[in-house]
C-alpha cells in the first residue's frame, strides 16, 4: 500500500533541480548550497519510495517517474504562487488584469478605456500588451483578448469579426481631382498600396470589388495591423486596414474611408478566461462593457 506523503519539504528544491537539470544551478536560484539541495531531494525520494533523478558524475537526469512528478509540481507551484500573490495584494478583488495584442491595445482598447474607468472608477485595470499567449492564472491574467482565425468549434466567446476596409489620410496627394472633386477607385489604386505582411488580401479585395488584377504599386508592408493603420494616418499611401484598428482614426477624421465593399478577414477577436474568473464581478463588468463598445462601433458579432 502506498505510503502517504507527510511533508512537502523538498518539492521546491526538486522543482528547481528538475528545471535546471543541475543541483548546482538550482542552488544558485534558491540561494542554497548544492549539497543542501541534493540532500532535500534525497529525503524527498526516501519519503516517496522511488528515485527522481539518475545521478551521473557531471549531471543529473530525471527518471520517468521524476519527469511526471516534475510536470505536476511545476503546474501546482505556478498556481500556488499566483494565488498567494493575489491574496497578498491589497485590494486584489478590485484589480483587473487584461492581456491583448499590441495593435488591439493601442488602436482599439486604450482610446475607449476612459469610458470604462468612468463607469467603474473603483476598478484598477492593468493592461498587458503582448503578442505572446499569457497564461490565464490567478494574479497574472483575468481575461485575454486574442486575435485568431475564426473557428466555429472554438469554445471561446467571440467579441467581433474583423473586416478590411480601404482608407487614406485626408489630403493625401492623388485622392482629389483638379477641380476638388473625388476620384474613382481606378485612380486611387495608382497610389502606393500599403499592406500587412503580404499583398494577398489586396488581391482578394480587388476580386470582391470586381476590379482587374494588374500591376500595382505594393510599395510598403508592415508586420502588424496597428503599424499599417499608423502608416495610413501618416499619409504614406492607400491602405487596406482592419476596421477594428482603424475605427477610431476614421471617427476622429484622421483617416477617410473609401466607398467600396469591405472584405471579411476570416479572423476575429475572442475572449479567453479561466472558468473560475468568468463569474468574478470585475470580469463580468469588463466583458459587458466590451460588448457595448463593440456594438457601438458596429463591429460586434451577431
Residues of the chain with pLDDT > 70: what percent? 92
Determine the average pLDDT of the residues in 1-11.
74
Determine the average pLDDT of the residues in 31-52.
92
pTM, full prediction: 0.64
What nine digits make up the cell of 122?
473603483
- Give the CATH number of domain 11-88; options: 3.40.50.300, 3.20.20.140, 1.10.645.10, 1.10.10.10: 1.10.10.10
Q: How many angstroms separate the CA atoms of 158 and 259, rounded?
A: 27
The average confidence (pLDDT) of the chain is 86
Q: How confident is the model at residue 275 (pLDDT cuts 50, 70, 90)?
A: confident
pLDDT for res 301: 43
**Architecture of the 92-302 domain:** 3-Layer(aba) Sandwich (3.40)
pLDDT for res 195: 87
pLDDT for res 297: 62
Residue, of 164 and 298, whose pLDDT is higher: 164
Q: How confident is the model at residue 66 (pLDDT cuts 50, 70, 90)?
A: very high
pLDDT for res 232: 92
Determine the average pLDDT of the residues in 264-279.
86
pLDDT for res 234: 92
Q: Up-side HSE of residue 105: CA atoms within 13 Å toward CB? A: 14
Residue, of 187 and 300, whose pLDDT is higher: 187
181-216: pLDDT as tens digits: 676 777 788 888 898 888 888 888 888 888 887 787
Residues of the chain with pLDDT > 90: what percent? 44
Longest pairwise C-alpha distance within the chain:
93
What nine digits make up the cell of 285?
463588468
Backbone angles phi and psi of 171, in degrees to 5: 80, 5
Find out whether 244 and 112 touch, Cβ atoms under 8 Å. no
For the chain, the domains span 11-88, 92-302
133-168: pLDDT as tens digits: 887 876 678 899 999 888 877 777 898 899 999 999
What nine digits make up the cell of 290?
466590451
Find out whether 143 and 98 touch, Cβ atoms under 8 Å. yes
pLDDT of residue 88 exceeding 90: no
Amino acid at each position: 500500500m502506498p505510503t502517504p506523503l507527510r511533508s512537502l519539504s523538498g518539492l521546491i528544491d526538486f522543482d528547481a533541480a528538475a528545471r535546471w537539470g543541475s543541483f548546482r544551478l538550482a542552488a544558485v536560484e534558491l540561494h542554497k548550497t548544492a549539497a543542501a539541495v541534493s540532500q532535500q531531494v534525497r529525503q524527498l525520494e526516501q519519503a516517496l519510495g522511488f528515485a527522481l533523478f539518475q545521478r551521473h558524475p557531471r549531471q543529473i537526469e530525471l527518471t520517468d517517474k521524476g519527469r511526471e512528478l516534475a510536470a505536476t509540481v511545476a503546474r501546482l507551484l505556478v498556481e500556488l504562487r499566483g494565488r498567494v500573490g493575489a491574496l497578498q495584494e491589497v485590494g486584489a478583488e478590485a484589480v483587473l488584469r487584461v492581456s491583448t495584442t499590441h495593435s488591439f491595445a493601442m488602436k482599439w482598447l486604450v482610446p475607449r478605456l476612459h469610458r470604462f474607468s468612468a463607469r467603474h472608477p473603483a476598478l484598477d485595470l492593468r493592461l498587458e500588451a503582448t503578442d505572446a499567449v499569457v497564461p490565464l492564472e490567478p494574479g497574472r491574467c483575468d481575461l485575454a483578448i486574442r486575435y485568431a482565425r475564426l473557428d466555429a468549434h472554438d469554445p471561446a466567446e467571440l467579441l467581433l469579426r474583423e473586416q478590411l476596409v480601404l482608407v487614406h489620410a485626408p489630403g493625401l496627394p492623388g485622392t482629389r481631382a483638379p477641380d476638388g472633386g473625388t476620384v474613382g477607385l481606378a485612380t486611387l489604386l495608382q497610389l502606393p498600396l500599403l499592406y500587412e505582411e503580404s499583398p494577398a488580401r489586396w488581391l482578394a479585395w480587388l476580386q470582391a470589388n470586381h476590379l482587374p488584377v494588374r500591376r500595382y504599386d505594393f510599395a510598403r508592408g508592415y508586420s502588424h495591423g496597428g503599424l499599417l493603420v499608423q502608416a495610413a494616418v501618416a499619409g504614406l499611401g492607400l491602405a487596406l486596414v482592419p476596421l477594428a484598428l482603424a475605427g477610431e482614426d476614421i471617427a476622429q477624421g484622421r483617416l477617410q474611408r473609401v466607398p467600396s465593399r469591405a472584405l471579411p478577414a476570416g479572423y476575429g477577436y475572442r475572449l479567453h478566461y479561466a472558468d473560475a474568473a468568468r463569474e468574478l464581478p470585475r470580469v463580468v463588468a469588463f466583458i459587458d462593457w466590451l460588448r457595448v463598445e463593440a456594438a457601438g462601433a458596429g463591429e460586434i458579432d451577431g
